[in-house]
Structures are given as structure tokens and as C-alpha cells.
């Protein structure tokens, strides 16, 4: 690269190669590092100058600070010993997709501001729909669908917000003087639902948390009762969110039984399959897409479990016009002939922000490098590891597995009680040898809320050896 | 990197070095490529398989397709001949910041999920506030402020949405039964305001577009009149958005005169300085921050003009509690002792999505490499180039510069009329030798709306030679 005129010269090739090598080394040694960062609040900041430098510094000094300041302050999501939350897994090709996106530096708000950014994204969303066996209603017209299509959002939270706003606008278009809108989700639903609704102007008091059955899945009969009661009270049910794989325990709401209720009341049905949806790439797990043909929108996160860097949420809608009507504002300075021809997608109308990165590259690179087969192997490996861990827990009377154990998530509690479970999670994380997380949910046999530990298996490099080590760590950490 | 177990092996070092070299070559040759992509709708997709591969492909095939399919489908935002919209500029260190962020693959939703991700971001926002001379109210407590602080948003649109929701919740907290909320912005305001309000449940009918003066700046007296009229009608003014550098023409709303009106009516004052705000790094341009000490929130985009890759919007609030109250929902599975200690920031509560990338790295790398001095030189270079272009236009009776010409934006129309201006923009863009954009705004002397061409100078590698070439192109393209 030529020296960039007003900025100091920068040897991009040399420093770029060094950064690639640093990352390769980091990913190799990540499993030796304490998974959860051990620093105290304020430590990272205290290592650095409190004011910006007047003059440019040498790159060597910058590179050194990565090891000195940044690494100790990381919680290592790319360690194969990371089992907390849900994963944010990656792979080499995906990292290079992010690099290329940054290097090209295009901003794909409109088709015309980089046709490749838009068209590759539409194609990738069609590829993904095919890989997951999603119904034609979510494909683009070019991909065998008709009125639907897919878009990459940063997160499932943003997908949720787009679905909520589209649902709201669809209802208001039918009746601009509709009364107070009400939404429904299970009591196990993700916090992003309450947050999205709040952003959309719908307070928590109008989000109904529908009771769940013993497997923590939404009760369809309760949904129907609640919707009917709300309608009788003059309220306007407009949105139901089904969790296919709840965050706490991978509980599965019965989409096919919720859909007729939504249809009867003209409610938007959004399916949030953020973690679980990716599993549909394997025929034996395709049950996670059950009912998708009845949903208005459906999302899953390749950035959780398809080896594609965060951020990459795949969000599909059955009626793109409903989404675009809700999110499109066309000012004069963005007018262009391609948009006016109606032949292209302008993805700015499918999301909250105006600008957008070229995120389809990382999907494209990952899918082409791994093939469907490779990605199936990834999912199957993790599912098998989770089963093997759950089996070992079931054989040990000190552990109580929360059943049904599903996909890559193993939830368990200790027979010794909630305090013991919490103490175990804290001790494991403090050890630095693994990181798990915890939640609180109603548990069998008595339905009482209890502390539950979560082991979420999905990191790209996680192997049987890491699960063996985790199992030993869990047992060694138990109180005597 | 060791082979990633379930995925096919990938030589990350070798392919990573090759990708770095490809990007270095691309950035060198970008100026020779037609700036606006010349492909027809559907061309990019038609070059690629319509279904995903079952088996993994060779990386060479992938790498080849970048040149074969992607490059022709790009509009080259990194060409120094790109003058459309506002820029999305970059530099080598920033690209490596994105690479490192992807390689580390951490997700900084909570302080505890990577303290470095949060603490470096807070520090970078304090550094930026110092570089731009922003008031202490926007600094973090650690950085010399008290109740305020900054956060990186993806775009100014998302910052706008956060400001709108915080403003709405603050007003509703004062009076939960407040009537219909009303917002104000100039008739020149960015489309993201209408879009954010719509998302937040406030229809366009409750966004008042305040008339502008002959320089397209909001008239403070009209704002006061409109606010008072709305209050008399029982409506509740809650938000005023000041554009400091409107998108069309870099018009500057008079923040210091709007602020007292906002204070009198307890309205939230948000300043959108997306492009212009960065100029405050130079003392001679610091006027763009005038009135910031009276604003509730203020944003600018390092990804436009500070050589930091899109996405990087810097968003500050004077009262972090107002923002967090609006956006925080704490589910059980995210509870942790650091959060509960109250000693840390969890940036998930400062934004719409839950997850977040480590975007502070690209700011840190860029500022340290360039120093304040280097970034000042970047801004000064572009401002001088814009002035030189405007001067040449003023000396040619065929061109009418829209005055006051400000910072890096040159707006002009042709004496030959709107049709001629539009035709010129189209012809320049079709030539591939440069890309400019257009808008429609009221113009002097008669206030009539006319077609106006925009030349936005801010690409990192843009030099006098590129402006000379553009000037020649513009003159050569004029109808005889």
C-alpha cells in the first residue's frame, strides 16, 4: 500500500502478516489461558495513558500492548473450555471474511452502493434457508420464493425489534385506531423481547408471559385463553414470539400449536431459534424448524454455532413488504435509479441502522470452506459431546440433569441444592480452567424455581478431551 | 493454528498473509477501478452457484472468486475518487483492529464477558471527547466526568434511536400519563430521525419539521413557537434533534439557541454531528461543538472521517442513568457479581442489541498510529481540498457553489438548471472516474427547491491530484 498521504506511513503488509500470525498463535494457546478474565474492575484502563497521544506511536508499541493489556482483560470466548452463555464461535475462513470486509470498506446501505454486498447476502440467506430446510416462503424470488426473503442482522435482538415493529405496523395498517397492542411470549422468553417491545413503545405491562409446561415450553391452551381474554378487554394482540431453544434451558415452544392461534387473531408469529436453529443443518435435528412454514419471521444465529464470527444473525420474513413498509424512509439524497426500478433490494429498509457492513463474506467463506458436510460434522460433534457429558452426570447421583437435554446444552443442578450449584459455578469459573454459566428456572418434580448450571457446548475447537477435562473439573470441585 | 477438529483443516497463516497482500494490492489499485459498480441487477448472483456446496472447496477457488465476482460488484468506497454521500474512510491500523477483533472473537455484552472490551471502549470515548474538546459532562467518571459517558454504536441511526427512547422514557418517568409525545427537527434533518421515531412508536405526524433559514439551519424562533403551540394543544414536546452538519448540505442548526427552548420545556436535546463532529479535532473547527455543554446527547462518526472502519459511531450522553433506565433488562442468566457491584459498565444497557463486538480496538489502533496530529492533518487536508475545489467553481460562471461551503463538503448546482445538474451527476458516475451524489434543497436567491450536486471529500487517500482530476472531469462533462 502506498503511504496514505496525510497519515503517517504504515507498512500494512508487514504488520498485517504479523497480526495474522499473532491471531494464529492466540487461537492455539487460548485453551491454556484462564477462560474468564481475572482482572479487577479498572485494571485495564489503569494500564493505559489517560489521554490520547499527540504524535503517532511506533506500531511495535501497539502490538506489545495487545499482550500486556488486552489479553489479561479478555474472557476467552474462543477457548475450547468456554461453555458459558451460548458460544460465539468462529473459524479461520470467517475471520478472513471479516478482514476482507474491513479491507474493502464498502457500505451496503443500498444495492447501488455495492451490488455484491446486497446480492451475495441475498444468495447466502437462500443458501442458508436451503441448508436448514426452511420453507420456500422465506426464500427470495430469485431463490425460489415469492414475497419473502432474508437479511443479516447484527443480533437476534435486532431481528426481534424488526419483527416487533413490522408486526405493530401491520396491525396499525389494518386499523389505525387499534387499541392498546399486546404481545405474548413464554415466561422463559429472552430479555430481548421485553427490551424490543419497550423500544417500540410497548411497555412490559403489555407483554404477557404465557405459563410453561413441565419442559418449560409455552402452553398453547394458555396462550389462547390469554389472547381471548385480552381481546374481550378491548386490547389488541399483535405479536407472539416462540422460543425454539430458550436461552436458559433450550426449551422448545410448540410452534405448530401456537400458529393457529396467531392466525385466528391476525397476530405476527416470530420464531427465535437463535442457538438451536443452526442444528437444522443436520436432518436428524431438522425438527427445530417445525412450524416454520406457519411463521411470519424466523431467525437463527450463524454467529453462535455455525463457525461464523459474531455479528451474524440470519433473519427471514415471509412478507418482505410488511418489513419494508415498517422500516423504509427514502430521503432525496439516497434516491437512485436502481432503487426506483424496483428490481433490487435496499437492505437499509430491512434493518434499524442505515449503514451496513459486508457481512455476507464471512458466511460465504465459511460455507464454501466447510461445505454442508463440514458444518454438519461441527454440530454433530457438539451434540455428541453434550450427550456424553449428560450421560456421565446421569450416572452420578450428585448431579441432576435437567431433561430433556437438547442439542449442545447440558443443564444440571446438584442434589446438594441451590447453594451448592451456585458455589460450583463460581468455583469452576474462578479456577480459570473452564467457564460455565447459571440460571434459575422451575424444576421437576415440584416446579420450584431452582438454581441451574448451564454447560453450552459449541466452541469450534471443543473436543472430547475438553469435555473430559470439564467433567473432571466439575467432580473435583464438588464439595466433599 | 491447529486443525479445527470437526472442520476441514485451514492454513490460516498462509491464507491470512495472502488476504492481507490482496487487500494491500486492492487499496493501491482501487483508484483505477470504476468507482460506481457497473453491473446490472442480478449479475453478481448469476455468477455463483444457486445452492451451497455439499463438500468443502479449495481456498484457491474462493480467493479467485473475490476478483471474478466480488470486485466488479463493488462500489469502491475506498477509491480516492469516491465523493458520494459521506465517506466511510479507513486506514491500515483500523483494518487490523477489525482483524484482531474478529480473531479474538469476544462478545462484550457485559463487563465480565471481556473487561478489556468495555474498559478500552470507555477510555477511547474519553480520549475522543478530549480530542474533540467535548465538555466534561460527556466523560466517564474515571475520565473526569461524573454522570455521563460514551459508547460506540454501529451508526448514528442507532444513536438516534437510543436518544429517542431515552428521551421518551425520561418524559414518561416524569408523567406516566403524559399525552402524545412530539419531536422536533429541521426540515433538513436526516431520515434516521423519522425512522427512529417510527420504530419508537411515534408516527411521522408527531415529528415537527421546523422551518430553516437561508442557510438551511433550523430557526430557533420557529421551534419555540411550534413547541408552545403544541403544548397549548395538550401535546408533550419531548425531543429536539439538532443537525450539526446536515446530510444534504452541512447546514448547522444553532445548538446554543435551541438549548434554552429545550430546557424550558424539559425536552431532550440530541446533537447529530455524524460527519462534521470529527472536525473538532482541529482547534480552528472546534465551533462544531458549540452548545455541546447544553446537550443531553451528542454523536459523531469516526467511521466517516477519522480513518476508522465502519461501523463506529461515537455517542455520548450527559446522564448515563437515563439511557440505562431506558434500555436495561436484566435476566437471571446474565446476573454476575461485577454487574451487581455497580462498579462496572455493562454496555448492553447502552444499546439496542445484547451482543457487541470489540470495536474499540480499531479506534485505539488508529489514534495511536496517527496521533492527534496525524488525524488533524487528515481533516485539514480534506478541508483545504474542498476549499480549492469550491474556489475553482466560484471562478467559473457555469457553477454556482451553495454557500456557506463548509468543511469537506462542496455543494453546487449548474447555472444551466436542475436538469443539467442531474445530468452532470449521472454522467460523472457513469464515467467510473469519480462518484458524486445529489440532493434537492431550497436554494438562494429565491428559496426554490433545486437539484444540487454534492462532492464529499474525506477518503483517506484523497490528494490534490484526485481533486484536480475531478475538476477536469466535471468541466469536461458539462454540456457544451
Q: Compute the half-sphere exposure of residue A182: CA atoms within 13 Å on the CB side of its CA.
A: 22
With beta carbons less than 8 A apart as the criterion, state whether B331 and A191 touch: yes
Burial environment of residue B234 by CB neighbours within 10 A (0 to 12, 13 to 18, 19 or more): exposed
Is the pLDDT confidence value at A480 over 90?
no
Q: Which helix (H) or strand (E) holds A292?
A: none
CATH code: domain of residue B418? 3.90.1150.10
Q: Is the link from the previous residue into B138 a cis peptide, with omega within 30 of 0?
A: no
Boundary-marking domain end, from B322, B357, B392:
B357
- For residues A201 and A161, the answer to whether their CB atoms sit within 8 Å is no
Predicted confidence at residue B335, as pLDDT, reads 82
Task: Please check whether residue B111 is in contact with residue B118, taking contact to mean a CB–CB distance below 8 angstroms.
Answer: yes
Indicate the pLDDT class of residue A340, thresholds 50, 70 and 90: confident
pLDDT tens per residue, range B380-389 = 999 999 999 9
Look up the domain containing B213 and give its range: 106-357
Q: Does residue B74 lie within any of the structural domains?
A: no
Question: Is A379 within a domain?
Answer: no
CB contact under 8 A, A6 and B454: no
Do B239 and B329 have their domain in common? Answer: yes
State the maximum Cα–Cα separation within chain B, in Å, rounded to a whole number: 73
Nearest Cα of chain B lies from the Cα of A419 at a distance, in angstroms, of 15
pLDDT confidence of residue B334:
78
B23:A201 CB<8 A = no
pLDDT digits (tens, 9 = 90+) for B300-335: 999 999 999 999 999 999 999 999 999 998 877 778
| Proportion of chain B above pLDDT 70, given as a percent | 99
Select from B313, B339, B357 the last residue of a domain: B357
Q: Quick check: is A100 in a domain?
A: no
Nearest residue of chain A to residue B75 (CA atoms):
A114
Q: Is residue A258 part of a domain?
A: yes
DSSP assignment of B46-73 equals: HTS-SS--SSPPPHHHHHHHIIIIIGGG
B236-243 sheet: strands from edge to edge: B149-153, B313-317, B297-300, B268-272, B236-243, B181-186, B207-210
Q: Kindly report the nearest CA distance between residue A453 and chain B, in angstroms.
A: 10
Lowest mean pLDDT among A7-11, A149-153, A328-332: A328-332
The verdict on a CB contact (< 8 Å) between A92 and B248 is no
Q: 3-state class of B89 per DSSP?
A: coil
Q: With beta carbons under 8 A apart, name residues in chain B contacting A334.
A: 191
Q: What are phi and psi for residue A272, nearest 5 degrees?
A: -100, 100
Asked if residue A95 is part of any domain, the answer here is no
Contacts of A191 (CB under 8 A, 6+ apart): B329, B330, B331, B334, B354
pLDDT at A176: 81
Nearest-by-CA chain B residue for A89: B105
Using CA atoms, how far apart are residues A256 and A475, in angstroms rounded to an integer?
Answer: 41
The answer to whether residues B208 and B317 belong to one domain is yes
- How far apart CA A393 and CA A400 sit, in angstroms, is 7
pLDDT in tens, A46-66: 999 999 999 999 999 999 999
Closest-approach residue (CA) in chain A for B121: A45
SS3 at position B240: strand
Position B5 scores a pLDDT of 66
CATH code of A237's domain: 3.40.640.10
Give the integer Cα–Cα distance in Å for B395 and A399.
Answer: 84
Q: How far apart are CA B331 and CA B343, in angstroms?
A: 19
What percentage of chain A carries pLDDT values higher than 70?
Answer: 99
Of A142, A352, A369, which has the smallest distance from its Cβ to B199's Cβ?
A: A352
> Is B20 a domain residue?
no
Task: Decide if B138 contacts B402 (C-beta within 8 A).
Answer: no
| pLDDT tens sequence across B50-98 | 999 999 999 999 999 999 999 999 999 999 999 999 999 999 999 999 9
Q: Which helix (H) or strand (E) holds A99?
A: helix A92-104
What is the rounded average pLDDT for all residues in chain A?
Answer: 96
In 3D, which of B126, B229, B139 has the Cα closest to residue B184? B229
Mind listing the pLDDT tens digit for each residue in B103-156?
Answer: 999 999 999 999 999 999 999 999 999 999 999 999 999 999 999 999 999 999
Helix, strand, or coil (residue A386):
helix
Least confident of A183-192, B1-10, B344-353: B1-10
Residues B333 and B399 in one domain: no
Q: Which of B27, B114, B371 sits opposite A54 (nearest CB)?
A: B371
Confidence band of A3 (pLDDT split at 50, 70, 90) = very low
In A408-476, the DSSP E strands lie at 409-414, 437-443, 448-456
Lowest mean pLDDT among A206-220, A293-307, A340-354, A461-475: A340-354
Does A472 map to a domain? no
Does any domain span residue B68? Answer: no
pLDDT of residue B455: 98
Residues within 8 A of B (CB atoms), A 313-352 only: 326-327, 329-334, 338, 341, 343-344, 352
Q: What is the DSSP annotation of A299-326?
A: EE-HHHHSS--SS-EEEEES-HHHHHHH
What pLDDT does residue A1 have? 40
pLDDT above 80 for B479: no
Comparing CA positions, the residue from A314, A288, A295 lying closest to residue A303 is: A314
The count of structural domains within chain B is 2
Question: Residue A316 forms beta bridges with which residues?
Answer: A150, A298
Residue B41 to residue A344, Cβ atoms within 8 A: yes
Contacts of B63 (CB under 8 A, 6+ apart): B15, B18, B19, B22
A169: buried, middle or exposed (CB in 10 Å: 19+, 13-18, 0-12)? buried
Tell whether the model's pLDDT for residue A19 goes beyond 80: yes
My answer on whether B266 and B221 are in the same domain is yes
Considering B357, B386, B402, which residue would you say is the last residue of a domain? B357
Mean pLDDT of B259-282: 98
Enumerate residues 6+ apart whose C-beta is below 8 A from A280: A131, A132, A133, A134, A286, A288, A289, A300
Can you give B110-168 as a three-state secondary structure string? CHHHCHHHHHHHHHHHHHHHHHHCCCHHHCCHHHCCCCCEEEEECCHHHHHHHHHHHHH
Please report the pLDDT score of residue B281 as a whole number.
98
For residue A239, is pLDDT > 50? yes
Q: Does any CB of chain B come closer than 8 Å to the CB of residue A248?
A: yes
Which among B285, B307, B197, B199 has a CA at the least distance from the CA of B241?
A: B197
* Residue A330: band (very low, low, confident or very high) from pLDDT cuts 50, 70, 90: confident
**Segment B2-26 mean pLDDT:** 89
Report pLDDT for B2. Answer: 47
What integer pLDDT is reported at residue A145 of this predicted model?
Answer: 92
Q: How far is A62 from chain B (nearest CA, A)?
A: 7
Say which range, A169-173, A417-421, B174-178, has the weakest mean pLDDT: B174-178
- Of all residues in chain B, the one with the smallest CA distance to A15 is B96
How many Å lie between the alpha carbon of A235 and the closest alpha carbon of chain B?
17
Looking at the structure, do residues B325 and B435 belong to the same domain, yes or no? no
pLDDT at position A348 over 80? yes
- The yes-or-no verdict on residue A167 having pLDDT over 60 is yes
> A201, B201 in Cβ contact below 8 A?
yes
Q: List all residues 6 or more positions away from B330 whose beta carbon is below 8 Å from its beta carbon.
A: A191, B339
Residues of A within 8 A of B5 (CB-CB) are 381, 461-463
pLDDT(B185) > 80: yes
Instruction: Answer whether B192 touches A (CB < 8 Å).
Output: yes
Q: Give per-residue pLDDT as tens, A271-282.
A: 999 999 999 999
Q: Name which of A44, A85, A91 is nearest B7 (Cβ-Cβ).
A: A91
For residue B453, the model assigns a pLDDT of 98
Query: Would you call A194 and B131 a contact, using CB atoms and an 8 Å cutoff?
Result: no
Q: Is the pLDDT of residue B3 over 50?
A: no
Weakest mean pLDDT among A8-22, A177-191, A356-370, B359-373: A177-191
> pLDDT at position A5, please?
66
Q: Which three cell numbers stand for residue B108?
A: 462484550
**Which helix (H) or strand (E) segment is B443 a member of?**
strand B437-443
Angstrom distances, CA of residue B211 to CA of B189, B208, B214, B339, B406 = 11, 9, 10, 46, 21
State how far the Cα of B280 lies from the Cα of B5, in Å rounded to an integer: 50
Q: What is the pLDDT of residues A39-50, one digit of tens each?
A: 999 999 999 999
The predicted structure's pLDDT at residue B1: 40
Site of grid cell 430557526:
B219
Per-position DSSP letters for A340-381, written without gaps between them: HHT-S--GGGGSSSS----THHHHHHHHHHHHHHHHHHHHHH
Amino acid at each position: 500500500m502506498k503511504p496514505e498521504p496525510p497519515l503517517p506511513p504504515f507498512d500494512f503488509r508487514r504488520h498485517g502478516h504479523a497480526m495474522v500470525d499473532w491471531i494464529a498463535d492466540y487461537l492455539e494457546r487460548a485453551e491454556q489461558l484462564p477462560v474468564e478474565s481475572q482482572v479487577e474492575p479498572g485494571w485495564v484502563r489503569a494500564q493505559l495513558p489517560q489521554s490520547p497521544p499527540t504524535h503517532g506511536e511506533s506500531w511495535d508499541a501497539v502490538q506489545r500492548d495487545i499482550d500486556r493489556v488486552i489479553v489479561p482483560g479478555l474472557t476467552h470466548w474462543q477457548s475450547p473450555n468456554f461453555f458459558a452463555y451460548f458460544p460465539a464461535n468462529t473459524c479461520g475462513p470467517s475471520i478472513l471474511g471479516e478482514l476482507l470486509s474491513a479491507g474493502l470498506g464498502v457500505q451496503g446501505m443500498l444495492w447501488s452502493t455495492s451490488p455484491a454486498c446486497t446480492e451475495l447476502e441475498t444468495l447466502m440467506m437462500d443458501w442458508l434457508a436451503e441448508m436448514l430446510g426452511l420453507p420456500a416462503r422465506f426464500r427470495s424470488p430469485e431463490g425460489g420464493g415469492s414475497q419473502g426473503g432474508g437479511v443479516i442482522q447484527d443480533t437476534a435482538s435486532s431481528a426481534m425489534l424488526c419483527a416487533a415493529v413490522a408486526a405493530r405496523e401491520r396491525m396499525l395498517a389494518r386499523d389505525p385506531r387499534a387499541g392498546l397492542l399486546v404481545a405474548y411470549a413464554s415466561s422463559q422468553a429472552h430479555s430481548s423481547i421485553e427490551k424490543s417491545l419497550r423500544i417500540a413503545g410497548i411497555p412490559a405491562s403489555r407483554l404477557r408471559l404465557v405459563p410453561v409446561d413441565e419442559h418449560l415450553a409455552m402452553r398453547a391452551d394458555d396462550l389462547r385463553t390469554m389472547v381471548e381474554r385480552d381481546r374481550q378487554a378491548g386490547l389488541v394482540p399483535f405479536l407472539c414470539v416462540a422460543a425454539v431453544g430458550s436461552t436458559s434451558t433450550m426449551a422448545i415452544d410448540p410452534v405448530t400449536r401456537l400458529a393457529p392461534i396467531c392466525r385466528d387473531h391476525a397476530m405476527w408469529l416470530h420464531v427465535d431459534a437463535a442457538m438451536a436453529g443452526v442444528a437444522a443443518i443436520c436432518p436428524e435435528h431438522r425438527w427445530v424448524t417445525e412450524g416454520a412454514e406457519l411463521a411470519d419471521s424466523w431467525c437463527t444465529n450463524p454467529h453462535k454455532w455455525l463457525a461464523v464470527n459474531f455479528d451474524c444473525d440470519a433473519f427471514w420474513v415471509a412478507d418482505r413488504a410488511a418489513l419494508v413498509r415498517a422500516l423504509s424512509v427514502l430521503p432525496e439524497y439516497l434516491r437512485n435509479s436502481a432503487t426506483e426500478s424496483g428490481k433490487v433490494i435496499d437492505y437499509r429498509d430491512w434493518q434499524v441502522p442505515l449503514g451496513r457492513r459486508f457481512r455476507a463474506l464471512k458466511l460465504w467463506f465459511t460455507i464454501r470452506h466447510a461445505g454442508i458436510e463440514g458444518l454438519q460434522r461441527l454440530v454433530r460433534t457438539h451434540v455428541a459431546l453434550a450427550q456424553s457429558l449428560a450421560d456421565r452426570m446421569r450416572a452420578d447421583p450428585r448431579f441432576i440433569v435437567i431433561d430433556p437435554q437438547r442439542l449442545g446444552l447440558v443443564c444440571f443442578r446438584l442434589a446438594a441444592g441451590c447453594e451448592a450449584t451456585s458455589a460450583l459455578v463460581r468455583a469452576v469459573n474462578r479456577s480459570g480452567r473452564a467457564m460455565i454459566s447459571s440460571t434459575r428456572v422451575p424444576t421437576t418434580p415440584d416446579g420450584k424455581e431452582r438454581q441451574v448450571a448451564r454447560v453450552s457446548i459449541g466452541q469450534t475447537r471443543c473436543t472430547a478431551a475438553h469435555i473430559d477435562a470439564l467433567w473432571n473439573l466439575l467432580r473435583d470441585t464438588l464439595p466433599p
